[in-house]
Structure 1
Amino acid sequence: MWDSHRSLNFVSNTLLLTAAAALIYTLVQHYGLPRFLPLKTVYIQGMQDERAELNYITREQIEKIMQRHVQGNFLSIDLIAVRDAFIHLPWVRDARVERTWPLALNIRLEEHQPLAHWGSHALVNTYGEVFRTVLDEKMPVFTAPMEVNSQEITRRYRQFSQALAPLQQSIAEINLSSRHAWRLHLNTGTVLELGRHEVEKRLLRYVSVYHHSIAPLNDDKPLAYVDLRYTNGFAVYMPETGKPMKGKQTSRKET
């Protein structure tokens, strides 16, 4: 056995590991666990860009989590508990916590980027995900039945916004009714009734005829309401009277 080079290496490595473990145990017993390999630095950074500033997560929230969950030394800190604490903050979409040498903790946070209000008690981020907090900023409002996927509303919002861009009109509110009929409130004050079917086609028709068929009806001033639920036409309501005017209504009204 002792003539075997491989066996000698195994024995020597085992003795070294045993000695190292004994040394670590002695140091921990003598100095105490928190004083052995103490944590020196904690880095708080953005998930995608290390230099990006956090816009919604507050210093007070971070300090509270640090005091409660960053306990022990470099080796004993519970990384999962620290991550979970950050994940539960309303504005945190994702969090990663890693040990980095020498004796540092690297915490990367991804904030929700708000796109719209979801009703009156939540927000929608740029991924179309709903998160529960409020923000006193002017943004589009999405309203829809509870069973509707917020990502579908977000997809439609981007689709509709792109269609309206040539008119320099934007969406102030999207409403999807319980019957799944679409209604858009524009920044001009005009309401567009799109109905349930062929909604993109109807909106594109509105854009294509706006300058020569819709805007002149009220001397280029915004109309109160445009009903696009017709095969090849529309009906408009004037803002002063609230009375309907027909425009290019060549076929029956649909849903």
Structure 2
Amino acid sequence: MLGLLIRDQRAGKAAGRRNAPNRGAVRVTPAAPRKWSRLTLPSLSEARRRMQHLLWPLLLVMLGMGLYELANRLQPLAQRPISLISVEGDLQYIDRDSVHQRIEPYLNDSLLTIDLEALRADLIAMPWVAGAAVTRVWPDQLVITLDEHLPVARWGDSALLNNAGFAFAPDQVNRFEGLPLLNGPERAKRRVMQTYQQFNRLLRPYGHGVAQLELRDRGSWFLTTRDGIEMLLGQGDVVEKMQRFLTIDKLMLSERRELIARVDLRYSNGMAVAWREPATIQSGSNE
């Protein structure tokens, strides 16, 4: 007779656990990931700096070699004497032979060794030269540009004045006797020239002109017209006084102008007229 054997599986498992030998607990840890070193590329600015450090010495060497080669090529030209000097300018009074005499000591110099400032100073020292410019033209030429004094009036007996009131003393001043004669203290040349120009602008529309103008030591002005009329203007407000004379001249004196010998404008609101004839009249408040 077969018997039935029934096993409790849970009990079997439990029994198995109880009977298992105690071998200790073993913990298995996963392996740490391997770290790889990264390759970092330099930044753009850092690369540029490194490139500059490498290129600068090379560029300096190349520049030095180029300058050395250029100097060797230019040396023969630098030693070449000046072959052509051109003198330019609207010259009416400057003597070209005198200019050549000033230039002659510099003809043996080369274009690079010539002293331009010294040559310019020698040219400026000439009586008629108001300004001078000296320019190099490669490889062996000089261009000289001269500005000339334009005489406007005589200053005393031995000099002329240009329109800026600058006095210069050329030879043969007596050739310019047709110019107005101006006189005054040496320090007052420019002031006398400016006053002359003012009077000339006032007188010209009325048919008058300045023949002589003098600033005397005490500051009073004395003028002679081209008609021979002497004018005593005094010290102050000389332009206003001249305008007063022109107004009265237009109203009363224009038809008898040739008979006027002298006009005294030193009055505050009138003038006195001296005639070439013995008669003397006054106009304005002193009439």
TM above 0.5, yes or no, is yes
Give the 3-state SS of the residue equivalent to 1:114 in structure 2: coil
Q: Distance in 2 between matches of 1:70 and 1:135?
A: 35
Q: How does 1:134-173 map to 2 (within 5 A)?
A: 134=173, 136-137=175-176, 138-147=178-187, 149-173=188-212
Question: Aligned pair 1:68/2:68, yes or no?
Answer: no
Q: What is the Cα deviation at residue 22 of structure 1?
A: 4.5
1:188-230, CA deviations, whole angstroms, 9 ceiling, x for partnerless residues? Answer: 11111111122111110100110332235xx442411111112
- TM-score (normalised: structure 2): 0.74
After superposition, what is the alpha-carbon deviation per residue over 1:27-50, rounded to whole angstroms, capped at 9, x for unaligned? 48xxxx7xx33323212112xxxx
Identity, % of aligned positions: 29
Indicate if the aligned counterparts of 1:91 and 1:112 stay in contact, CA closer than 8 A.
Answer: yes
Query: Does structure 1 residue 187 correspond to structure 2 residue 237?
Result: no
Distance 1:101 1:23, change over 3 A: closer
Number of aligned residues = 234
Asked if 1:37 corresponds to 2:104, the answer is no
Structure 1 position 6, deviation (Å): 2.8
Aligned to 1:93: 130
What residue in structure 1 maps to residue 280 of structure 2?
245
Equivalent position of 2:14 in the other structure: none
Partner of 1:116: 153
Q: TM-score w.r.t. structure 1 length?
A: 0.83
Q: Write the distance in 1 (CA, Å) between the matches of 2:285 and 2:55.
A: 96
Q: Helix, strand or coil: the match of 1:60?
A: helix
Name the SS for the 2:186 alignment partner: coil
Contact 1:145-1:176 at 8 Å conserved across structures:
yes
- Is 1:235–1:244's contact at 8 Å kept on the other side of the alignment? no
Structure 1 window deviating more from structure 2 (131-140 vs 57-66): it is 131-140
Contact 2:82 2:108 (8 Å CA) reproduced: no
* Aligned residues: CA RMSD: 2.4
Residue 236 of structure 1: how far off its partner (Å)? 1.5
Cα distance in 2, alignment partners of residues 174 and 244 from structure 1: 26
- Equivalent position SS for 2:132: strand
Please tell me whether Structure 1 or Structure 2 has the larger radius of gyration of its CA atoms: 2
Task: Tell me, yes or no, if the aligned pair for 2:82 and 2:107 is still in contact at 8 Å.
Answer: no
Unaligned runs of 5+ residues in structure 1 are 47-52
**Aligned partner of residue 248 in structure 1, secondary structure:** strand
Higher mean C-alpha deviation, range 159-168 or range 179-188? 159-168
* 2:51 corresponds to 1:11: no
